[in-house]
Chain A
Amino acid sequence: DQQVKQNSPSLSVQEGRISILNCDYTNSMFDYFLWYKKYPAEGPTFLISISSIKDKNEDGRFTVFLNKSAKHLSLHIVPSQPGDSAVYFCAASGINNAGNMLTFGGGTRLMVKP
């Protein structure tokens, strides 16, 4: 049973436009959410996170929105750049997760076209 799902395996966006990556979760005990970016043959790189006490967190071009009632979060990248092309993973942790262990979604491959 997948507790964190990213239903879009891929997304293609034009440079300069907004990229919106979505993530859904089922475990109501999750209270901390993160987005990671991954290039081939490298480990995931932390991008941005949000606690369940907030509904929005912004860092430069990256904004994460959390809708707890819908158990849904999204990552907005504005404006998108070709260097943003990578696989993006949504992850979640909660009070029942040992030591903040993360449960990951399956990833969304973002392609930003020049």
Chain B
Amino acid sequence: DTGVSQDPRHKITKRGQNVTFRCDPISEHNRLYWYRQTLGQGPEFLTYFQNEAQLEKSRLLSDRFSAERPKGSFSTLEIQRTEQGDSAMYLCASSTEGAGAFFGQGTRLTVV
């Protein structure tokens, strides 16, 4: 399977704990994005990487959130001191320049 892969698919965590999600993009795609989707809403942009450089961050990305793409391949999204409001589907997407983005299946986070 050469699509975008996300791990884990589901994560349940207690409030205050840290969580980390991983995304493996399509191999030839140099652009990688993280989005968040809550129930009944469309996906909202969080951050964007071109190769290993994080070029854009949304105001939605509070200082508890950090994303990395150390070698320009896979990416991680970490949420520190999780809050109930962080419960959402976290989507990763990748693309090449000038093309539409292809999404992974997402990681559903539930903070209890």
Residues of A within 8 A of B (CB): 4, 6, 34, 36, 41-46, 49, 89, 91, 98-107
Instruction: Give the total number of A-B pairs whose CB atoms are below 8 A apart.
Output: 64
Residues of B within 8 A of A (CB): 4, 6, 31, 33, 35, 40-45, 48, 50, 55-56, 91, 93, 95, 97-106, 108
Residues from chain A with a CB closer than 8 A to the CB of B43 are 44, 89, 102, 104
CB-based nearest B residue for A33: B100
CB-based nearest A residue for B91: A43
Residues from chain A with a CB closer than 8 A to the CB of B44 are 104
Known: A102-B43, A102-B45, A104-B42. A42 touches B50 (CB 8 A): no
- B48 with A41: CB separation less than 8 A: no
* Alpha-carbon separation in the docked complex, A49 to B40 (Å): 23
Residues from chain B with a CB closer than 8 A to the CB of A103 are 45
